[in-house]
A = this chain, B = another copy of it.
Amino acid sequence: MISNTMQEQVKNSSVIRAMFEEGKRLAGIHGVENVFDFSLGNPNVEPPKEVKNAILEVINTGNSMGIHGYMNNSGYEDVRAAIAKSINDKFSTAFTQNNIIMTVGAAGGLNVIFKTLLNPGDEVITFAPFFGEYRNYVKNFEGELVIVSPNTIDFQPNLEEFKEKITPRTKAVIINSPNNPTGVIYSEATIIKLSEILNEKQKEFGTDIYLVSDEPYRELAYDNAEVPYLSKYYENTIIGYSFSKSLSLPGERIGYLVIPDQVADYQNIVSAANIANRILGFVNAPSLFQRVIAKCLDAKVDIRTYNRNRELLYKGLSSYGYECIKPEGAFYMFVKTPIENDVEFCNLAKKKNILLVPGTVFGCPGYVRIAYCVAYYKIEKALPYFKALIEEVK
């Protein structure tokens, strides 16, 4: 009775869902504190205090119709202006409110922009490993996701293969840095080279290719690492941002799109994205939280907590003989499985109450993703099991 597309999409969702159910089952048997659920990217660091203060300030001083009512589908104009200013201050850009559309998180923003851009059969390129939901977001609008195979040396994009995979049907490229699942930040050199290739191919094919930058992890960068702001490198850049991780508000569904003036067909894209926001059923980003985040643009979560987890986990796993790249951002570690089959390795881990996501989900078999946005003691308690696990299979 359900649609054919959904039947397929339900089937493809079964891995992570099964993991989720398994986690609940195991917690029921062994107690939550003895189950090590590294499968979910759900922040465990409190929102900064500015968030609660902002909520109180808005609801105590605002006019309730202005707080909870409809506004332009793109969001409150003053909120969009505040965001534009904040980006300009940080990155020396020159955006105005007319470049910003408030969205229901980054997931909402990406659906809005693909709805706006994609005709059936249009190709969207991404680099493995990649956030598995891109498959769905592109398929929602009958686009075709073209996957560039992973560079497992340093997990920077494989630009040689990228060049070959661009065709006259390439409408967009989607990248995600700091990256889920690797934690790698795409370097400035990567971005410059990637932009050169895109410009070359645009010229060769006489097309416009939009670079969509999915940036929920921008603020989670360790050791003061810089995350290049892409619109400064490539004209046809569109940015999807989210406050889910920067302010630990994933449930509130608040983010925005940046559509710079310089983007080809700017005016039509902005108009269409405004309408897409409405007709996809978002209508607008949640109103109270638009006002709240506008008061928290300089705040961010305390990433020292994630950093401690990162150090502990990386040091532990490396010392046991696991191969992995030390993450530069986000809260994921991508680890080579000591046996070839990543799904099988996840099943072995599950027997020790450790929940992981197989790399297959991210288009990169032979690896697992560990989401270390968990309590420190969980990592401490889990490490001996990771040790036992590698000893068992070696």
Contacts and interface: CB of A to CB of B under 8 A. Distances in A.
A369 to B, nearest CB: 16
Contacts of A253: 104, 253, 282-287
Contacts of A55: 55, 59, 288
A136 interface: yes
Interface in A140-176: 140-141
Contact of A281 (B46, B105, B122): B105
A266 to B, nearest CB: 9
Contacts of A282: 104, 107-108, 253, 281-282
A56 interface: yes
Contact of A272 (B10, B44, B71, B269): B10
A3 interface: yes
B59 A275 contact: no
Interface in A262-292: 264-265, 268-269, 271-272, 275-276, 278-289
A250 B115 CA distance: 23
* Interface core residue of A65, A271, A284 (most chain B CB under 10 Å): A65
* Interface core residue of A59, A107, A279, A284 (most chain B CB under 10 Å): A279
Nearest to A43: B69
Contacts of A252: 68, 286-288
Given A108-B283, A286-B289, 4 more contacts: A1-B117, A3-B141, A52-B59, A70-B250
Interface of A: 1-7, 9-10, 13, 40, 42-44, 46-47, 51-52, 55-56, 59, 64-65, 67-71, 104-105, 107-112, 115-119, 122, 133, 136-137, 140-141, 208, 248-253, 264-265, 268-269, 271-272, 275-276, 278-289
9 contacts: A1-B264, A9-B275, A10-B272, A43-B65, A46-B64, A47-B64, A107-B278, A137-B281, A253-B286
